[in-house]
Amino acid sequence: MSENFNFKIEKKLPGKLGRAGKITTPNGEINTPSFVVVGTKATVKAMTPEMLKSLGAQVVLANTYHLYLQPGNELVKKAGGFAKFMGWQGPTMTDSGGFQVFSLGAAFGEHVSKVAKAGDENRKKVEDGGTGNKNKLAKIDEDGVTFRSHINGDQHRFTPESSMQVQWDLGADMIFAFDECTSPQATHEYQKEAMDRTHRWAMRSLVAHEKLDPENIQALFGVVQGGRHEDLRKESAKALAEMKTENGSMFDGFGIGGSFDKDDMGTAVAWVNESLPEEKPRHLLGIGDPIDVFLGVENGCDLFDCVAPTRVARNGSLYTKNGPIHITNAAYRADFSPIEEGCQCYTCQNYTKAYLAHLFHAKEILANTLASVHNVYFIVNLVHKIREAILEDKFFEFKEEFIKGYSIK
C-alpha cells in the first residue's frame, strides 16, 4: 500500500463483512463508509465546493473521460490538478474512463443500465457484450478502446497506459485501473472474455502507474468485473488481489464495477468482498440508491459514488426517509412545510415545498441548486449515520427501521 495512503478498520459488523474505518490520503481523511460526491467535469452540478463541505461531503470524484475531452488533462495539470482547479480542499478520486466504454459502446442507444432490473431477463442476450452495436461510439480491442467524442465526433483512444497518464495529470488521491464494464445482458462467455481482458489491462495499469508515480503519491484501485456470475466475480477478485508487478507493486484498494442484478446486489457484492483482502478499502462504483448502499455496507463496501442524487434533483425528485417525492406534483404547490421535517440541510431550514415547486414550474435555475443541496445532504448523512450505527452496534436495527419506512412511489 502507498506510503501516502492508509486504511484502518475501526469496527466490524458481527457475522457480516461490513466495517467502519478510516482512509488517510495526502489531502485529508475519509471516515468510512462514505458517499463520494460526483463532480463529473470538476464541478458538482449547481453547487460550490463550500456547499459540499457544509453538507458533510468528504471526497469528490471527477470523470477521466469528460475532463480529457474538456478542457483537457494537460490544462488541468497546469492548474495543479482538478481539486485545485475547482477549488475543492479535501480527498479526491477519478474513475478510469472504463464506464464510458460501456455507455458509448454496449449501452449506446440500447437503454441498458449497468444494474439489471426485474423484467430485464426477458431481453435478448447480447453475444458480444454489445460491441456489435452498429450505432456505438466506442469500439473495444485487446489494446484499448477507440471512441468518438460525444461533443464533436472527433476520434480518440484510451488504453490502460493513457488512462493512467490522464489520471496522473488530473492529480486525484485515488485512481482506478482501466477496465471494461459489460452489459447485464451479456452472455457468460462474453463476461468471461471481458473480465480476462480487464485483468490484462489491470496489470498494464499497474506497470504504467508504477513508472508514472515511483513515490506512490496516488493510490491505485483495481476494478473487479464478472457481471452477474458468482464464478467470474470470485475469480476476478482473487486475480486482482494477488496481482503484482515484477517490482512488487500491488493495488492499494479495489473498485467493484460492472453489471449487477438489482434484486441480488448484496449477494454479488459479498461474493467479491469475501475474496478480497480485508485490510484494503473497497469502492462500489456507480451505486447510490439508499437501499443498495445499506446492502453494500453490510457486505463489506467502504465507499460509494453515484451521479443520481444531483441528477434526479434537477428533475425534481427529492429524497426523504419515506422514499423520494416528486416536487412538481400538484400536491406540493401549496405545501408550506420543508421537504423533510427535521432535516438540517440549508434548503429544508430555509425553504418550503411550495417554493421549490414554484421554482421548478417556473424553470428557475435556483431550483437545481436547492434540490441538489437537499439530496446530497440526505445521502451523505445517511451513510454517515450508517457509520455511526456500526460503531454503536446498532446497524441492523437502523437498517430495518430505514427500509421499513422507505418506499419508491
For the stretch 343-362, what's the b/e string if a residue is b when 16 or more beta carbons lie within 10 angstroms of its beta carbon?
A: bebbbbeebbbebbbbbbee
Which position has the grid cell 430555509? 350
- Report the distance separating Cα 295 and Cα 309, nearest Å: 18
Q: Which of 120, 305, 335, 393 is catalytic?
A: 305
Q: Which of 95, 179, 252, 292 is catalytic?
A: 95
* Element of type H or E holding 76: helix 73-78
3 state DSSP class of 31: strand
- Report the distance separating Cα 171 and Cα 168, nearest Å: 5
* Element of type H or E holding 155: strand 155-158
Query: How far is the first Cα of the chain from the last one, in angstroms, to the nearest whole number?
Result: 44
> 38 with 66: CB under 8 angstroms?
no
Look up residue 348 and give its three cell numbers: 429544508
Angle between helices 353-361 and 366-391 (to 10 degrees): 140
> 69 with 40: CB under 8 angstroms?
no
* Element of type H or E holding 60: strand 60-62
Question: Which amino acid makes up residue 365?
Answer: I
Q: Is the dihedral of CA 138, 219, 284, 17 positive or negative?
A: positive
- Report the distance separating Cα 284 and Cα 382, nearest Å: 16
Q: Look at the chain and count its residues.
A: 409
- For residue 252, how far is the Cα from the chain centroid? 17
95 catalytic? Reply is yes
Q: For residue 275, is it left (φ>0), alpha (ψ between -120 and 50) or beta?
A: alpha
Residues taking part in catalysis: 95, 305
